[in-house]
Amino acid sequence: MAAIQNPSLCRGQAVYRSNKHLRGFTLLEVLVAIGVLSIGLMATALLISRTLQDTVRSRQMSLAAVLASEKLEDLSRWPASDPHVVVPPGGTAGSLTDDVTADVVVGATITRVNYFDDVSEGLTPGSFSETVSSLDPVTGRLVYTTTTHSPDGSITTSVSDAPPIEISYKRRWLIEADQPVPGVRRITVVVTTLDPVRPVRFQMSTVRP
């Protein structure tokens, strides 16, 4: 005689076997998945941060190149006998590492010349200000002349007794007489940022009579 099975017992065994295949993740598996996801998110955040830093540094380097080229053009336009570019034979004027100011004698005239200036980025995109310090010929006090270049092409100048509040770039230049050959002057301009996190230094040279 064939054995008679209990239908309810058979259904219970089937449900049990089905539940074994449909069981969820264990706590350890969940923790491992969370750890892997956290590592991936941290790596993505670091990559985005590095990309942003590289973008800012590239922008600063490009702007430093423009500022160096601009100053070389400015120094090349002066006549050979102008105090801003006069250098004794075989001598040098200025510095690439320090802020140098000198009293230059041309004929019977003494002119105080700075071999550095400060450049600040304006609040308006594309706006920049160049600040040069000098002595007031009347009072003898140190004053700061700021020339602002706006995106629309307008240029404004202001004079103040106080130095600029925020400086983005420092420009220094060195003029060498009889370099690289006798009879010419080599002008070298160095532009550095005052950002300790992303320091940028760009150097450019030209030769003029």
* pLDDT at residue 192 in the model: 95
* pLDDT at residue 195 in the model: 80
Phi, psi for residue 121 in degrees, rounded to 5: -85, 135
Question: What total number of domains does the chain contain?
Answer: 1
Distance CA 91, CA 114 (A): 17
Residue 68, in any domain of the structure: yes
* Contact status, residue 83 vs residue 113, Cβ threshold 8 Å: yes
Residue 200, in any domain of the structure: yes
Residue 15, in any domain of the structure: no
What does pTM read for this prediction?
0.71
Return the residue matching tokens 């310090």: 133
Residue 32, in any domain of the structure: no
Residue 12, in any domain of the structure: no
Q: Where are the beta strands (DSSP E) in the chain?
A: 92-94, 101-106, 109-114, 116-121, 128-135, 142-149, 155-160, 169-177, 185-193, 201-208
The first and second tokens of residue 154, run together, are 């307008």
CA 124 → CA 64, 68, 69, 150, 159, distances in Å? 18, 21, 22, 8, 21
Residue 36, in any domain of the structure: no
Residue 163, in any domain of the structure: yes
* pLDDT at residue 9 in the model: 47
Q: What is the block-wise mean pLDDT of the chain (209 residues), using blocks of 10 residues?
A: 51 51 71 86 78 75 92 94 94 96 92 92 76 78 86 87 83 96 96 86 96
The first and second tokens of residue 182, run together, are 């006798």
Under DSSP, the state recorded for 207 is E
User: H or E stretch including 31?
Assistant: helix 27-76
* pLDDT at residue 92 in the model: 97
| DSSP-assigned beta bridge partners for residue 107 | none
The three-point CA angle 166-167-173 to 5° equals 160
The first and second tokens of residue 89, run together, are 């034979």
Going 95 to 103 to 72 to 158, the CA torsion angle's sign is positive
Domain with 116, as residue range(s), is: 54-208
